[in-house]
Amino acid sequence: MTKKKKKTLKLKDPMVLILAVLFLFITGGTAIKAAVFGGRTEVIVMLDAAYGEEAKGNSGVINEADYNAALVKELAEVLKKDNRFIVKLSHEEGAKATIHDRAAAADKENPELLLSIHCGYDPAKTVSGMKIYADVPGSKTNAKSLEAAQKIKETFAAENAEVLYRYYEPLDEKTFQVVNVPAEGSETKELKTWSLMEEASVPVVIVEQFNVANEEAAAKYNTEEGIKATAQQYYKALLAVFKLN
């Protein structure tokens, strides 16, 4: 019997060279892309529209829940057009979901950021400005949450945005006082904060977009154009948060 000669590929073979170049292009391109995005090519972001179903949240010129849902829907559509983002929702549009449900959804999906959209209320109808809340000092997620909050503030600088920590200071066994303190230079307080932040184990940023009692702010934000413009601002902010610019 005669032994069959083993076929060997020589580097001088044009086809081998072509395949080698293609391999390097594919793997090298992936490596470059990963390096540019800090080792990631995709980022999971969870969007949370506060309230839902019969729970309307703060009520003024508009109902808070309606605006929250509209903005989250638009922002989700914007982010989904960029394949670097994997978008998750804490609950279905308009569906009722407790804070515990929303925190559990976040822990299940493990996003790099849970962005919760709210609106504030102040009976002084002229009060305006955007409030951005970060996880409080002492929490494991404070650093990432604060960094994201600061980037959002920078993007919304024209909206008189400020980064805050929220605490609930007990007055007695049944009542408490809401205390908002500037994030910059704030010390750790042994007080409760937003329940969503306490229950979720992922970085959370909670935003109060505007005062629903302020007619001028409602007219600016609660329109189709206003919602689209605000969603684009959040998209820009999230690109900065995850260094995807």
Look at residue 2 and tell me if it is in a domain: no
Look at residue 190 and tell me if it is in a domain: yes
Look up the domain containing 158 and give its range. 43-241
Look at residue 113 and tell me if it is in a domain: yes
Ordered strands of the 113-120 beta sheet: 85-89, 43-49, 113-120, 204-211, 131-134, 162-170, 176-182
Structural domain tally of the chain? 1
User: Is 107 a residue whose pLDDT tops 60?
Assistant: yes
Look at residue 10 and tell me if it is in a domain: no
Q: Give the pLDDT mean for 206-210.
A: 97
Task: State the average pLDDT for the chain.
Answer: 86
Q: Distance (Å, rounded) from C-alpha 19 to C-alpha 165? A: 56
Evaluate whether 240 touches 155 at the Cβ level (below 8 Å): yes
Look at residue 193 and tell me if it is in a domain: yes
**pLDDT, position 24:** 43
Q: What is the CATH number of the domain that holds 147?
A: 3.40.630.40
Identify the helix (H) or strand (E) that includes residue 26. Answer: helix 14-36
Q: Distance (Å, rounded) from C-alpha 198 to C-alpha 183? A: 17
Look at residue 59 and tell me if it is in a domain: yes
Tokens of 226: 């206003």
Look at residue 27 and tell me if it is in a domain: no
Q: Strand 162-170 and strand 176-182: pairing?
A: antiparallel
Half-sphere exposure of 121 (CA within 13 A, CB side): 11
**pLDDT, position 12:** 53
Look at residue 6 and tell me if it is in a domain: no
Q: Give the pLDDT mean for 120-126.
A: 89
Instruction: For 66-93, write each residue's pLDDT tens digit.
Output: 999 999 999 999 999 999 999 999 999 8
